[in-house]
A and B are shown apart, each in its own frame.
Chain A
Amino acid sequence: CLPGSSCVLKETLRVMFVAKSLPAEHKDLIHDVAFDFYGRRMATCSSDQSVKIWDLNEDGEWVCTASWKTHCGSVWKVTWAHPEFGQIIATCSFDRTAAIWEESVSDSGHGVHSTWIKRAGLVDSRTSVMDVKFAPKIQGLQLATCSAGGVVRIYEAPDVMNLNQWSPQYEMNCKLQCSCISWNPSPSRLHSPLIAVGSDDPNPSSGGKVFIYEFSANTHKWTKVETLVTVTEPVHDLAFAPNLGRSYHLLGIATKDVRIIALKPVRQDPTQNNGSTSSLEVRQAGQFDDHGSTVWRVCWNMTGTILASSGDDGCVRLWKANYLDIWKCISTLRGETVENVSEVGTTGGPSQQSGTMAIGQHTARYFKLAPTAHPAHVPWH
């Protein structure tokens, strides 16, 4: 048993924060990284026009299992379909097309070999296709794309066993250039399918930059039910949160700051026979300028409880709500330049200037960072 005195006086806490690096192997900038449904496969896409697929092996290491050229221009986004439909990804590119790829696994004598086959190319757009996302599985195998020309297109594969057939089903013109799109992941009988579209049009006077579209099963049409007029700066990314029992939807928005908007469906008067779309009550659940600069990306964790934002200040921040539904930043991760690190194996020692860097060619490094006074659970209850 430890004596009372020493325990009381030492209040240091140990919080380990482990970062493991792996070389990206792309020849140019990476634009997007997407995890599959289980978090054990990853797709990266790049300005080098290719996509790489990474698999997590038994040792917890990411291994690149496929790499191929997908488009004739930078690939902006990559996304996975639900595994119920198979191993499928979609990509979209500056070359004005989106494409759907399926994995084909062959077991030759030398082990399992994976190739990805192009099942379909979607060539309807006249401008760069900025985002592509699959619909929630309950809606079947559907895909939405949005373009720099402001058009949202929804495609469907009517026979989920035949991926070569994708037919364009709906087209919505947002009138402003689009940058991002997100399906509401949890539609149900009570909440019709919803899509949020964000525009990075630079002109604030062109109005709200986030549009919410709703699908009506009665009329078989997508209708714009809401424009978020409080968001007038360019929107670079947005994402609906997985809904685990909330009575409202949460939308994370990356614009000049981080926004979290709650959309609560309000039933229309059922006696009105054109009341097939519900109206949405819009409430701002959070607005945060911690990045102090443009926010480029937002994404949610699988339980819809943590939002990650990436900003121009070089930081990634994690946001979480407490039991009173008040959102706060719980963690900040920043990239830093290390001063005066000498590279292993360089000849000619002393000319290291402060500020110039050399990185060792490590493929995996564990960083054990200094203990912090406030662990991830910053008290905010």
Chain B
Amino acid sequence: MESIQDPVITNRMHGIIGGVSSLLVFPHKDHYKDDREYPSAVEGKIKLYQVESFSWLWSRQARKLINEAMGTFISLQDAVKEVEPDDYKSVLVKKCREYRSMIQACVEDITMCRECEGDQEELTASGQLLYKMELILSLIEILFIDKKPGGMILGQLLMWIRSHFTQCIEKKNEVMESDHPHQHSAYWEAVYGSVLQGRMEDARHMLSNHPFADTDPFLSIDELLRKMPFYQVYGGVSVAEFTVRWQHWQSECERRLQEGHYSTCHQLQTVCKILCGDQKTINNLIDLMDTWYHLMVSTLLFTCPTVKLFRLHSAAQDAIACVGGEQSTTPLDHVLLAAMEADILQVIKECQQVLDNTWFTAHVTDLLCHTMGQTTDQKFLPELRESLLLDYVSVLVSHCSLWQIGILYLDHLGPSGIAMSQTVLQRLPLTDDSRAHKIIQMASDRNFDSVVVGVCRVMGRRALSQGRLGSAIWWGVRSRDAAFTSHLAHQILQKYVVEGRFESSQLLDDLGPAMLLSDTLTFLGKYREFHMMYQDGNFRDAAVLLVSLISSKLAPEYFWPVLLLDALPLLKSEEPVISAEQTYELMYCLHNLHNHASKRGKQSSLENEATCSAFLEKEIDLRLALSNNLARAIIHEGSVDN
């Protein structure tokens, strides 16, 4: 339970969620429904609280892990689709090792960081977290993913112990670097430690440094150490044959012990007892091993080197009993134990206890899900995988710079992933144009049409509210919003009527077929075309266009005066460009305009009045030009016909 310390808020507080998991909390009291004056002595002391849970995933150390894991995750999903089922295993092992190496890289980063700066406590905690993750993952690799034929796991477990428990190596180095190794206080501990990890070469090396190395006991033990058989999976020796050889060797150890070969040196006796698999001796050396799993592996090394996975559980229980029993086990122990029991669900559950973030459980469940494949009776696995990955992505998308990674993951999570992806993309704040374009790009790559349209609409609205009409039309067109673009087109036209010029003309000219979205927009686009034709001197075509714009009724009524005034120079041009037919159209338009204007009379707005009066001045001129043009056009056409 977390708490906020503020007396005002103690009685009751309300919380509102924003985004994925951030909360806004405010104090609340009963209010009288009839709105009586509430005697509130709370003025000035009411505070709002913004509450966020800070995930380790947002720390600097995790950043690299997140980025690299994404690469591995995606290549794993792709590989599984493309590769033959027979080759799955090598892919999975490779990916597992990639995850492990990125964790190790993180650990190294932290080690370097500790020397410079940073919150020491936080770095230590991160380091421990990563260590645990790698420990668990490497065990999972051995027990689930990289299963060797024959089921003989001790070799792998031994490697696992050796890479995670390095005290014996450190001690050995310390001892051997000293002037008189055999007199070093840690000398024999280093020897025992090496033997317990099956590092026979190291043990022999240290013993050869002893002044008595040439005496019988030392030579004898050296021989035993040298001759200990180690099972090689691809060594060509069958399990049965190995077992025979090994038992033969251990019998030899026992014989030499009983015959008192080492009675002069009790440390060598201890070594020999280890080789004989004497449980009591091995248990007594627990301080060199620290954990029950080291103890377990060392015990198995000297009692049952051909152990198979299904027997691991009871060996684990025995080891646990030696180190203090169930009550002293930690959540980490539970994870390892569950793995040894091959209980995937339990492993994942226990991982959630150990680790405070979803990175590990999400990726590992994904890995295991692919490993188990269809062969499994673990029907829950695909759903669990999806659920954990969605949880992981939820954390990513709450962060302003990790959301893109989240989207990439969602591509591989089925229909739920797609739905979440659409929601997330829609909800990302459109802080600026480039962010909007990025989101649109990602959405259209995934055919999220509604998201693209949605973003464009919001951007269009925003441009409108900032007075950037051209930009608003650009967005409006992309969002296929006819009503909005119509509205904008009207605004632009009305501005033209008042100011006599187009703003954002470049944007308007580049509309292309998009202008067909709404009638008003089409008119605007065509009107721009008219302008272009006129400027190019292409008067005849310009005239045709202008007249068609008038007669097609595309033009809004407030714009007719403008069009008619545009016709004026064309009517007056030296060469007739407007035909008789077209002139009639123009006259008809003028006639309608005149009627409407007189009907509206005093109801017209100020703007309309201004246009109207400007128009009225020109009206006479227009009528004259129209009649003149009509006359000459009739004559011209008449003579052409002839």
Contacts and interface: CB of A to CB of B under 8 A. Distances in A.
Contact of A83 (B1, B40, B458): B458
Interface string B90-113: 000000000000000001000100
A11 B354 contact: yes
Interface residues of B, number: 111
Residue of B2, B122, B127, B333 ringed by the most chain A CB atoms within 10 A? B2
Interface in A240-258: 242, 244-245
A2 B427 contact: no
A23 interface: yes
B49 interface: yes
Contact of B35 (A3, A10, A94, A331): A94
Contacts, number: 303
A271 to B, nearest CB: 30
A10 B166 contact: no
Contacts of B27: 30, 335
Contacts of B170: 3
Interface string B334-377: 00000000000100111011111110000000000000000000
A62 B11 CA distance: 25
B3 interface: yes
Given A34-B16, A297-B15, A306-B20, A4 B290 contact: yes
Nearest to B465: A105
Contact of B423 (A22, A302, A324, A333): A302
Given A105-B466, A303-B20, A303-B394, A338 B5 contact: yes
Interface residues of A, number: 99
Interface stretch (B50-58, B175-183, B494-502): B50-58
Contacts of A245: 415-416, 418-420
Interface string B200-212: 0000000000000
B45 A14 contact: no
B50 A22 contact: yes
Contact of B332 (A8, A47, A128, A315): A8
A18 interface: yes
B330 A11 contact: yes
B383 A323 contact: yes
A306 B14 contact: no
B234 interface: no
B507 to A, nearest CB: 20
A19 B51 contact: yes
Given A21-B6, A47-B31, A29 B42 contact: yes
A234 to B, nearest CB: 12
A19 B52 CA distance: 6
Interface in B1-56: 1-29, 31, 33, 35, 38, 40, 42-54, 56
B31 A1 contact: no
A308 interface: yes
A375 B2 CA distance: 10
B167 A4 contact: yes
Contacts of A10: 128
B72 interface: no
Nearest to A86: B461
Nearest to B135: A7
Given A2-B127, A334-B2, A23 B330 contact: no
Nearest to B126: A14
B9 A335 contact: yes
B146 interface: no
B26 A84 contact: no
Contacts of A44: 26, 48
Interface stretch (A35-43, A221-229, A277-285): A35-43
Contacts of B122: 14
Contacts of A206: none
A182 B56 CA distance: 36
B454 interface: yes
B17 A14 contact: no
Interface string A335-366: 11110000000000000000001010000000
A314 B10 contact: yes
Contacts of B3: 333-336, 369
Contact of A310 (B15, B47, B380, B462): B15
B415 to A, nearest CB: 5
B396 to A, nearest CB: 12
A43 B462 CA distance: 19
Given A7-B131, A334-B4, A381 B348 contact: yes
A296 interface: yes
A270 interface: no
A302 to B, nearest CB: 5
B17 A4 contact: no
A347 to B, nearest CB: 20
A335 B330 contact: no
Interface of B: 1-29, 31, 33, 35, 38, 40, 42-54, 56, 107, 111, 121-122, 125, 127-128, 131-132, 135, 164-167, 170, 290-291, 294, 330-333, 345, 348-350, 352-358, 380, 383-384, 386-388, 390-391, 394, 415-416, 418-420, 423-424, 427-430, 454, 457-458, 461-462, 465-466, 483-484, 487
7 contacts: A13-B356, A29-B29, A44-B26, A73-B35, A323-B383, A336-B4, A376-B53
What 10 pairs between A and B have smallest CB-CB spacing?
A323-B387, A335-B9, A316-B15, A16-B54, A245-B419, A244-B419, A375-B356, A38-B429, A39-B18, A357-B7
Given A15-B54, A83-B458, A84-B458, 13 more contacts: A2-B128, A17-B52, A26-B46, A28-B38, A39-B19, A299-B15, A314-B13, A335-B6, A335-B9, A359-B45, A369-B3, A379-B353, A381-B345
